[in-house]
Amino acid sequence: MSGNLEKIDKDFQKLLTQAKSSKELQDLRVSFLGKKGRLTESLKAIGQLPESERPSFGQKVNELRVVLEGALNKKDQEIRYQEVSAKIQNEKIDVTLPGYVQAKGSVHPLTLVQDKLVRIFSSLGFSIEEGPDIESDYYNFGALNFPDNHPARDMQDTFFTKNKQVLRTHTSPVQVRVMERDTPPIRMIVPGRVYRHDADTTHSPVFHQIEGLCVGPNITFAHLKGTLEAFVQMMFGQNVPVRFRPSFFPFTEPSAEMDVMGPHGTWMEILGCGMVDPNVFENIAQAWSKKYPDEKQNPYDPEKISGFAFGMGIERIAMIEYGITDIRLFYENDLRFLEQFV
């Protein structure tokens, strides 16, 4: 009988030395000391012993249980220590290593300039409007007083869609859309994409404009000048000289172009502008009387209303602001170029 206990002890010790994880140790504990473990089972044989030997056998089994438990607990501590040390080893990080540098994005120069323009005109009380890129001939040309034979309608300049729509050649059609929708006073700008059949170092078939429109009962050319001069001061600096040159647009009368003095003492054209042509108001007035046939007062009666408008190319402003000579740089997405604007 006690030989059997020695065997149990020997087997246990052997397996104990082999155990490498808490899990193996737990299995070992169950298979020897558990309810159906070998040591527990060995107690069952006690009935076959003569009565006199039973107490001492029972005692031996209990002593062995204490020994095995002690050994298990000791080994358990060793294994836990090893496991924790291994974990610490494996998971250690060198906090002095430099991190991975993430390439930072930056705002596109055209967006920077557009944002600045929008901020400036917002500060002057202009609201922001948008319109569709694909326009009807009427909004892009007709309502804006372009005669039917105007060269801008040529296949040369304008992209037409299959169903006789156009890719808007300027943001001015939004003037018409807003006036057909709202009564005066109107003070709004329209940033947006425009399209022309044109490509060289200073022209791109797709480019961006900002339109401005101010309409009210007594708007004069002085308001136009004051607004645009204030804009130039905020955009290019307090003491940048400006000049207005007479020009022509079908939808403004009189019309002008505004130049600013560049860093090398040369005049640079930055925008077209003028007083809204009465013929444009007449077109809007007709749309209103169609919409409200019973109204006696027409809010766009050309005799009673006036306004000014202006439009500028965002690329052009950006080229002046940053001294860029090739417009294509804006669209090539060369990071060496784009990273210079922050």
Binding site for ligand PHE (CB under 6 A): 170, 172, 211, 249, 252, 272-274, 309-311
Q: What is the nearest approach in angstroms of ligand PHE to the Cβ of residue 291? A: 24
Q: Which is nearer to ligand PHE, 37 or 311 (CB)?
A: 311
Q: Which is nearer to ligand PHE, 167 or 309 (CB)?
A: 309
Q: Which is nearer to ligand PHE, 34 or 302 (CB)?
A: 302
Q: What is the nearest approach in angstroms of ligand PHE to the Cβ of residue 302? A: 17
Q: Which is nearer to ligand PHE, 126 or 310 (CB)?
A: 310
Measuring CA to CA, how many Å separate 319 from each of 29, 113, 202, 304, 310? Answer: 81, 10, 9, 40, 19
Structural Rg of the chain based on CA atoms: 44
Positive or negative: CA dihedral 23, 28, 29, 30:
positive
Q: What is the nearest approach in angstroms of ligand PHE to the Cβ of residue 213? A: 8
Residue 293 CA to its chain's centroid (Å): 46
Q: What is the nearest approach in angstroms of ligand PHE to the Cβ of residue 170? A: 3
Q: What is the nearest approach in angstroms of ligand PHE to the Cβ of residue 309? A: 4
Residue nearest to ligand PHE (CB): 311
Q: What is the nearest approach in angstroms of ligand PHE to the Cβ of residue 112? A: 22
Q: What is the nearest approach in angstroms of ligand PHE to the Cβ of residue 105? A: 31
Q: Which is nearer to ligand PHE, 2 or 220 (CB)?
A: 220
What single DSSP character describes residue 108? -
Q: Which two tokens stand for residue 229?
A: 């001069």
- Determine contact, residues 326/199, Cβ cutoff 8 Å: no
Q: Which is nearer to ligand PHE, 12 or 281 (CB)?
A: 281
User: What number of other Cβ atoms are within 10 A of residue 234's Cβ?
Assistant: 16
The C-alpha atoms of residue 302 and residue 283 are separated, in whole angstroms, by 10
Strands (E), the chain: 127-128, 134-135, 166-167, 186-195, 206-216, 242-249, 252-261, 267-276, 306-313
Question: Terminus-to-terminus CA distance in the chain, angstroms?
Answer: 89
Q: Which is nearer to ligand PHE, 195 or 310 (CB)?
A: 310
- Determine contact, residues 222/244, Cβ cutoff 8 Å: no
